[in-house]
Amino acid sequence: MMSEFEKVNCNICGGIDSEFISDKGDFGLPVNLVLCKKCGLGYLSPRWKKDRYIQFYCKEYDKYYRPRLLSNKTNISVNKNSNAILGRLKKYLGEITKANVLDIGSGEGNNLFVLKGVQPDSNYYAIEPSESSQKILKHKNIKLVASDVDVDWEKGYENYFDIIIMRHVLEHFLDPTSVLEKVRTTLKDNGILYIAVPDNLKRKRNKGWLRVPHTYYFNKYSLTNILLKAGFSVSTMVEGDQYNNSEIYCVSKKSTDKTEPILLEEHYLIQKDVFKHVLK
C-alpha cells in the first residue's frame, strides 16, 4: 500500500533533484533507487516508512538475510585470523588496552566476540533490532544499549566510547547523518569510528545488491561527505583489501567543527555511469 511509503530528500545535501535508477529489488521487495544530481548519493525514494522498517528488522530481516539465526543456536564459531575488523584496527587497538566498545547493528555479535578474545578486560555494547540476535547477545553477556538507533540512546553515554563499529549498517539507516551526530556525541575525543559499507563504484557485484534494507548507496565521495557533515575527519579510507574487495572501510575521528560537503556534478556522473553499467 502507498500509505507505507514516503518520499525523502538527499541526506547529504538536502537536494530534491534526483534521477530514477531502478525498482528491481532483491526478493521482489519494493525499492525505488534514485541518484542525487547535486552530490551523487544513491538512495531509496519513495521508501518504506519507519514503522514498516521496524517491523521488517525485528521480525523479517533474518528470514531473508540471516536464516541461520532462526535455529536459536547460541554457539558461534568465529576465526580471529580472518576477521576484517581485527586486522584493520590492529594498529589502533594497541593504543587502547581497556576500552568501551559499541557495535551498532551488531547482528549476533561476531565482531565483538573476536575483540573480546583479544581484549577481555574491555566493555562491550551493542545496538541491534533483531530479536534472534538479541538473544545471542544476551547469552554472550553483551549489553544491549538499544534496539532502535533512532531513539535517544546517546543520552547517558556522552564521551563514553573508545571504539564504535558500524559494519555494513550505515547504508541501512533512514537518517544516517543524525545517527553519525549521535555517534560523535558518544565517542571520546581520542576515540575511533570504524565504518564499512558496500562500494557502489564497483562494476562487478553480487546479485541482490539492490535491496529494500539498503536505503543508501555510498561511494568514497558520498561517504567522505557525510562524515565531514557530521563532524568527523577521515584518518583512513580504503576501497577493498584482502578481507573484502567489494567494500569501502574507513577509520574516522572527531573533528573540532563540522565541514560543508563537497558537491560536484562529476560525482553524480561517475556514480550514474557505474549504476547503468551494473544494471545493463
**Per-residue pLDDT tens over the stretch 81-119:** 558 998 898 888 776 778 999 999 999 999 999 998 888
193 forms beta bridges with 164, 252
CATH label of the domain that carries residue 259: 3.40.50.150
DSSP annotation of 60 reads I
215 and 47 Cβ atoms separated by less than 8 Å: yes
pLDDT tens-digit readout, 139-180: 989 999 999 999 999 999 999 999 999 999 999 999 999 999
- Spatial neighbors of 14 by CB under 8 A, at least 6 apart, are none
Neighbour-count burial for 67-99, b at 16+ CB within 10 Å, e otherwise: eebeeeeeeeebeeeebbbbebbeebbeebeeb
Strands (E) located in the chain: 5-6, 18-22, 33-36, 42-44, 47-48, 100-104, 123-127, 143-146, 161-167, 187-198, 216-217, 232-239, 247-254
Q: How far is CA 140 from the centre of its chain?
A: 23
- Count of structural domains within the chain: 1
Q: What Rg do the C-alpha atoms of the chain give, in angstroms?
A: 18
Percent of the chain's residues with pLDDT above 70: 94
**Residue 180's domain spans which residues?**
2-279
- Residues 21-53, buried b or exposed e (16+ Cβ, 10 A)? beeebbeeeebbbbbbbbbbbbbbbebbeeebb
Amino acid at 202: K
- Separation of alpha carbons 268 and 36, rounded Å: 7
Average pLDDT of the chain, as a whole number: 91
Strands 100-104 and 123-127: parallel
How far apart are alpha carbons 264 and 114 in whole angstroms?
Answer: 40
Q: What is the mean pLDDT of residues 58-87?
A: 73
The pLDDT tens digits for 192-205 are 999 999 999 999 98
